[in-house]
């Protein structure tokens, strides 16, 4: 078996592949989508805004046609399961394939546990957990249909492993812990190819550390001391930027991670390693 491909970084080449990123209009989701486009993928960014924000429009301008990738936007709220299924099915039918999905849509609430109502809890879980679950299953149905050996990446968080110092977000943290466990269970169910030729779908979760996203910047507005605390607790002495997760996303959705499923990748600057 030869170990050198016919081109550089062949295992990371997404040329001809079709990918979906939820929460893809801005921040982390958009940065991940750009990484897939850069590797030649046709990427559909799904988010709940009717029209994408300026951050997405700027990303469109950065696309290099010579790389072979494309980026598209479609309005989808992951809480609307019928619409989510319809859009994902439509994308797969248009291309007769679906190679990967990144479930990155998420929200956060800073609130003491004793102040939560059932409605507050449901609001977070409907997007962070149920939304990720339904995104993964909608994608898997199309991968089964077109017999694609696809890859599913659920965006969790280091907050699914720890209680964040100085930040009271009990439901967000527990929702991300649930996402990590969900990835393991979906991997168990979908990774093996069955007698119909369906399956071979790898499922992993990615747990980022503190990122300078719109959601985190809003946290700093509410609690300015948080940034100093988080930076001092990080082994690198700083927070991450969304672009620093492009490589990990590409790895998880490409052939480079072909023997990886049911795993959780933590990229947190050493925050949880103390």
pLDDT along the chain (274 residues), means of 10: 75 98 97 98 98 94 95 98 99 99 96 97 99 99 98 98 92 99 99 95 98 86 89 96 98 98 98 94
Q: Is the pTM of this model over 0.85?
A: yes
* CA proximity to 166, closest of 115, 233, 215: 233
CA atoms within 13 A on the CB side of 184: 7
Cα separation, 254 vs 258, in Å, equals 7
CATH topology for 14-210+245-267 is Rossmann fold (3.40.50)
24: Cβ contacts below 8 Å, ≥ 6 apart: 30, 32, 33, 43, 44, 45, 46, 47, 56, 73, 102, 104
| Catalytic (active site) residue 176 | yes
Residue 164 has what pLDDT?
86
Catalytic residue among 73, 172, 245, 271: 172
What are the boundaries of each domain within the chain?
Answer: 14-210+245-267
Residue-level pLDDT at 201: 99
Catalytic residue among 176, 245, 246, 271: 176
What pLDDT score does 2 carry? 64
CB–CB of 233/172 below 8 Å?
no
Active site annotation includes 146: no
First to last CA, the chain: 41
pLDDT of residue 8: 86
């Amino acid at each position: 078996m030869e170990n050198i491909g016919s081109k550089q970084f062949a295992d990371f080449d997404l040329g001809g592949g079709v990918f979906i990123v939820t929460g893809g209009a801005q921040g982390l989701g958009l940065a991940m989508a750009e990484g897939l486009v850069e590797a030649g993928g046709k990427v559909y960014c799904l988010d709940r805004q009717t029209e994408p924000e300026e951050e997405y429009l700027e990303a469109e301008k950065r696309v290099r046609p010579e790389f072979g990738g494309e980026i598209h936007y479609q309005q989808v709220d992951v809480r609307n399961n019928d619409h989510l299924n319809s859009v994902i099915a439509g994308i797969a039918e248009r291309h007769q394939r679906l190679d990967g999905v990144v479930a990155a849509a998420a929200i956060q609430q800073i609130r003491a546990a004793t102040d939560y109502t059932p409605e507050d809890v449901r609001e977070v879980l409907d997007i962070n957990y149920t939304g990720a679950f339904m995104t993964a299953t909608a994608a898997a149905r199309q991968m089964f249909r077109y017999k694609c050996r696809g890859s599913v990446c659920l965006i969790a968080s280091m907050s699914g492993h720890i209680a964040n110092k100085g930040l009271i977000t009990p439901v967000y943290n527990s929702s991300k812990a649930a996402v990590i466990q969900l990835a393991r269970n979906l991997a168990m169910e979908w990774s093996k190819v069955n007698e119909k030729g369906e399956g071979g779908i790898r499922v992993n979760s990615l747990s980022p550390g503190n990122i300078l996203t719109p959601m985190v910047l809003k946290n700093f507005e509410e609690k300015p001391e948080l940034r100093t605390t988080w930076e001092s607790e990080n082994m690198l002495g700083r927070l991450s930027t969304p672009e620093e997760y492009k490589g990990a996303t590409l790895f998880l959705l490409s052939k480079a991670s072909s023997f990886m499923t049911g795993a959780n990748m933590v990229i947190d600057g050493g925050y949880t390693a103390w």
